[in-house]
Amino acid sequence: MNKLEQLRQRSLVVADTGDIEAIRRYRPHDATTNPSLLYKAAQLPQYQPYLVDALAWADRHRGERGRLAAMKLAVAIGAEILDIVPGVVSTEVDARLSFDTRATVEYARQLIHLYEQADIDRERVLIKVASTWEGITAASILEREGIHCNLTLLFSFCQAVACAEAGVTLISPFVGRILDWHKASSGRDFTAADDPGVASVQGIYQYYKSRGYDTVVMGASFRNTGEIEALAGCDRLTISPQLLQALEEDSGTLASGLPDRVAPEERPRQALTEAEFRYQLNADAMATEKLAEGIRNFVHDQEQLEQLLLQQAKERATSDAATNS
């Protein structure tokens, strides 16, 4: 077996892409999307009908046209993905709402409503929310309503603890972005054996499993296959098409990865107050910087996606006017 086949025997493989063709090729169990991936997908010719439908839907509803169209597009692509994968798709809340609990909850409810209008059960959707205190609080509310959440942009142990205590369905601790920060700050390279992003996920996984949390750990944001192999055995791993291809083309033996079993830990679970969470996050320079950067980047790509949709609408209106004149 190639390494991708070996990995499938140890972890659920998730495709980190909005590219339908890549998902068809690699047959992941689940798929994750975000504004960056949707923006890239929206520029491909095969997705143009989705853009037209999203704009037409936005025009029939009250609200900011670009934002509504982007929401509809995300659901349309998510629904298409769910025709291919047997599991779930993750769809992201607008990152501009990362510090607004109430608005995050309302946005998530709207996404689920659109999925249910498309005859897709909410059990097949994970709502992606940034792992801010406000986002975690919103996820706790949504989980009690039967809306399952994927807490993203997770870089620190305190974020992981707060997510588990909130009862979220799944977390996406980022590996590669942690590595990026440490490489930039230290000026040196790391192997998989001493990769700080890998170590972060290993610690979270150990803590969750030793204390019986149900929250799923899904390693994300990989820079190389060595990181993936070091985390083989993690509940789920969301992987880009490029790295899926690299694993598929490698016929070697997969690294041992995480242990198959974690012994129970007698020490109690942690429960953080808001003040403790904010202090611990602030004390972690890497997590503070990467969380802020991640939100900014997702906001940028969200705005680019909306501008792309509005530009498409403008060009179509100009074309229609020329045809009718």
DSSP string across 69-93: HHHHHHHHHHHHHHTT-SS-EEEEP
Q: Read off φ and ψ for residue 9, nearest 5 degrees.
A: -75, -15
Identify the CA nearest to 219 among candidates 204, 201, 206. 201
Identify the CA nearest to 181 among candidates 202, 200, 163. 200
Question: Structure tokens of 24?
Answer: 């068809």
Task: Report the alpha-carbon distance of residue 74 to residue 197 in Å, rounded.
Answer: 29
Tell me the sheet residues that pair with 89: 31, 125
Looking at beta carbons, which pairs linking 114-119 to residues 24 or more positions away fall under 8 Å?
114/71, 114/72, 114/75, 115/75, 115/78, 115/79, 115/91, 118/75, 118/76, 118/79
183 is catalytic: no
Query: 159 burial class (0-12, 13-18, 19+ CB within 10 angstroms)?
Result: buried
Question: Packing angle between helix 176-186 and helix 196-210, nearest 10 degrees?
Answer: 130
* Alpha-carbon distance values, 294 to 44, 67, 96, 156, 322 (Å): 24, 19, 11, 14, 42
- The active-site residue out of 128, 183, 209, 290 is 128
Task: Report the alpha-carbon distance of residue 151 to residue 159 in Å, rounded.
Answer: 9
DSSP string across 236-259: EEEE-HHHHHHHHT--SPPP--S-
Question: Structure tokens of 19?
Answer: 């590219």
How big is the chain by its Cα radius of gyration, in Å?
Answer: 20
- What positions carry a catalytic annotation? 128
